[in-house]
Amino acid sequence: MRLRAGLLLRVAFGAMLAIVAGSGAGAVTPGQDESGVVDQPGYQPTPEEEQLSGAFEKQEVFFRTSESPGTIVIDTKSRFLYLVQPDNRALRYGIGVGRDGFRWGGVHRISAKREWPDWTPPREMLARRPDLPRHMRGGIENPLGARALYLGSTLYRIHGSNEPETIGQAVSSGCFRMTNEDVVDLYNRVSVGATVVVNN
């Protein structure tokens, strides 16, 4: 009787181990996501990796500010543009910013808006890059992309880009790049005269 009971216990224990092993094959252990990638404590993703994860996609976020709704606030350091909404909310867009030596700050107003704008590189840019065209008609190959918002009397713009992979990076000569999809969305939401606050 004792021999039979012991045999039954061993069979039951073996079955239980098989169930646990089978369920563990798809289980997620601490520090691991469903893809099997283990977290790396203290690891900071590069801007390129954040872009791939969707960190720079447009979204509505909590945003405490004293600026009025309709104001654009650009945070150069974090590489986000915020369109202020009522009730401490904002639409947040990922942007590309000026590289070292070309970042700036200040307050301006949108002085003009253009769809599929032409591009005429300024003299300062041509001095650095004599290979650039003197003028380029608007279109899909144009570096200004689908829309441009001109900032006061400066040479700078918020504009689209035919290089969406540069969003989240510091590569421009001072302008703020957006994906064409995002700049069209922003263009349709703001008017000439809107305030733009650039925090460097």
pLDDT recorded at residue 128? 87
Tabulate helix, strand, coil % of the chain (nearest 5).
25, 30, 50
Do 192 and 120 contact (CB within 8 A), yes or no?
no
Query: Measured in whole angstroms, how far is the alpha carbon of residue 187 from the centre of its chain?
Result: 17
Residue 107: pLDDT band with limits 50, 70, 90 = very high
The CATH fold of domain 53-199: L,D-transpeptidase catalytic domain-like (2.40.440)
Helices (H), the chain: 2-24, 47-52, 123-128, 180-189
Residue 180 clears pLDDT 90, i.e. is over it: yes
Nearest to 117 by CA among 146, 150, 152: 146
Name the residue with tokens 């915020």.
Answer: 82
Q: Which residues contact 71 (CB under 8 A, 6 or more apart)?
A: 65, 83, 84, 194, 195, 196, 197
Q: Mind listing the pLDDT tens digit for each residue in 140-178?
A: 889 999 999 999 989 899 999 989 899 999 999 899 999
Q: Mind listing the pLDDT tens digit for each residue in 112-137?
A: 999 999 988 888 888 888 898 889 99
pLDDT recorded at residue 123? 86
Q: Note the pTM of the prediction, 2 decimals.
A: 0.71
Residue 65: pLDDT band with limits 50, 70, 90 = very high
Q: Where in the chain is CATH 2.40.440.10? A: 53-199
| pLDDT: which is higher, 43 or 193 | 193
Residue 181 clears pLDDT 80, i.e. is over it: yes
pLDDT recorded at residue 3? 39
pLDDT recorded at residue 81? 98
Q: Enter the tokens of residue 191.
A: 């008017």
pLDDT recorded at residue 16? 39
| pLDDT: which is higher, 20 or 87 | 87
Lowest-confidence segment of 37-46, 79-88, 130-139, 188-197 by average pLDDT = 37-46
State how far the Cα of 128 lies from the Cα of 165, in Å rounded to an integer: 23
Q: Mind listing the pLDDT tens digit for each residue in 15-51?
A: 433 333 333 333 333 333 333 333 333 334 455 545 4
